[in-house]
Amino acid sequence: MDIKGSVLMEKYELGRLLGQGTFAKVYYGRNMKTGHSVAIKVIDKEKVLRVGLINQIKREISIMRLVRHPNILELYEVMATKTKIYFALEYAKGGELFDKVSKGRLKEHIARRYFHQLITAVDFCHSRGVYHRDLKPENLLLDENDNLKVSDFGLSALAESKRQDGLLHTTCGTPAYVAPEVINRKGYDGDKVDVWSCGVILYVLLTGYLPFHDSNLMEMYRKIGKAEFKCPNWFPPDVRRLLTRMLEPNPSYRITIAKVKENPWFKKGNIVRKPNKELVLSTSSDGASASCSSEEKQEVMRFQNLNAFDIIALSPGFDLTALFEEPRQKKEMKISKREAGLLKLEAMTEGRKGILSIDAEIFELTHSFHMVEVKKCNGDTLEYHKVVNEGLRPGLQDIVWTWQPEAKPPPPPEQPQQPEKVGSLPPEQDQLP
């Protein structure tokens, strides 16, 4: 059914068809409030229920919520009616990278740029325990600024999907890009198979054709299993070495993404941005950044500040070292006292996004009641939450009071159900109607 020109949820105006698959169609859309372009993926609920893919749809939503990155297609919103599920996605105006490669090989510096963005995005996914498992040029989109966006997480797996042997076992992927261990139906590491696929993609970007290709599928699988491919003589030596390591048939000897990043060809032309020491960035829950200099902190203070060690003294037996020096592997941090009761906690080693830095302020609300405000000023959000959940909260349990919950107000009277009304489900929820 053609839905062009219709309005979805009184929010998105739907336009031309961008593409379609077995269970879904993708339309161009426009946010009527902001005017921003989006892509609306329309999934037929009856079809996915019939073939038992509803859990896969739920997993895809959870994964896309987890991997927010500049080089990963963003999921804005999920909506549903009785018959359809709608994904409001970031619109990639440049289309598929496959369309560019199908016209011939790319210039080396352009191929390197796309490959660099791909590796950065995949590395981020792996840091979140997400394995894509279907990386190919058709699933790599380009935005209006020609930046790469990894898409289609329908076959992705989470680290928690591993069996007791610590491996994944589901056979999936696109034959020409799949790793030998997946074809052999053995258990495999998700990060290793993604590295293999990235190697095939790099070869395609530089040559315009596949490293393993044959009209006979079994013969192609044989070539993949033995890594039978040839690099053109014009390939730079560093690229040859990199591809040989990425397309290593034995996953135990295959290069890691960390080592890929150390390859001279990969690093060539890569600009490393040094952090600004004079300005510390504070990331709020919605991802916005703002300066948080100590001078501004002094201006917004409303209460008398206490030294953290004064608070510790009020709780006999409380030991600050327990926050960071436990037998389990935890991020070691150094603590320094700043002016006006501000404490700075900084990691001893560099993380994914530089040195993790946390500001802690202590306010006296009343003589016997104090508030501790903790903010991440720099570093990776996941590392910050790990420090808070595994270090700060358990360490503060002896001096933090837990109040009894207040009486809940009576629930509002039930409204009569309106069958014709459709609901909206934000990306933060996994449950589908």
Residue-wise burial string across 295-306, b where 16 or more C-beta atoms lie within 10 A, e elsewhere: eebeeeeeeebb
For residue 430, indicate whether it is catalytic.
no
Integer angstrom CA distances of residue 372 from 91, 303, 363: 41, 12, 6
Instruction: Show Cβ contacts of residue 208 under 8 Å, excluding neighbours closer than 6 positions.
Output: 101, 102, 103, 104, 105, 106
Q: Which amino acid is at 4?
A: K
Instruction: Show Cβ contacts of residue 250 under 8 Å, excluding neighbours closer than 6 positions.
Output: none
Between helix 108-127 and helix 190-207 the angle, nearest 10°, is 170
Say if CB 94 and CB 146 are below 8 A apart. yes
Integer angstrom CA distances of residue 133 from 198, 224, 252: 10, 16, 18
Q: Are strands 75-80 and 84-90 parallel, antiparallel or unpaired?
A: antiparallel
Q: Where are the alpha helices (DSSP H) in 302-354?
A: 308-313
Say if CB 38 and CB 31 are below 8 A apart. yes
What are the φ/ψ torsions at residue 224 (nearest 5 degrees)? -65, -45
Q: Which of 2, 99, 123, 134 is catalytic?
A: 134
Instruction: Show Cβ contacts of residue 228 under 8 Å, excluding neighbours closer than 6 positions.
Output: 212, 222
Distance between CA atoms of residues 391 and 21, nearest Å: 46
Q: Which amino acid is at 163?
A: R
Greatest Cα-to-Cα distance within the chain, rounded to the nearest angstrom: 80
Say if CB 78 and CB 427 are below 8 A apart. yes
For residue 168, give both structure tokens. 């994944």
User: What is residue 52's DSSP assignment?
Assistant: T
Instruction: Show Cβ contacts of residue 398 under 8 Å, excluding neighbours closer than 6 positions.
Output: 315, 317, 318
Distance between CA atoms of residues 74 and 212, nearest Å: 32
Q: Is 41 annotated as a binding residue?
A: yes
Helix or strand or coil: residue 194?
A: helix
Distance between CA atoms of residues 321 and 325, nearest Å: 6
Return the active site residues: 134
Residues making up the binding site: 41
Residues making up the binding site for ATP: 41
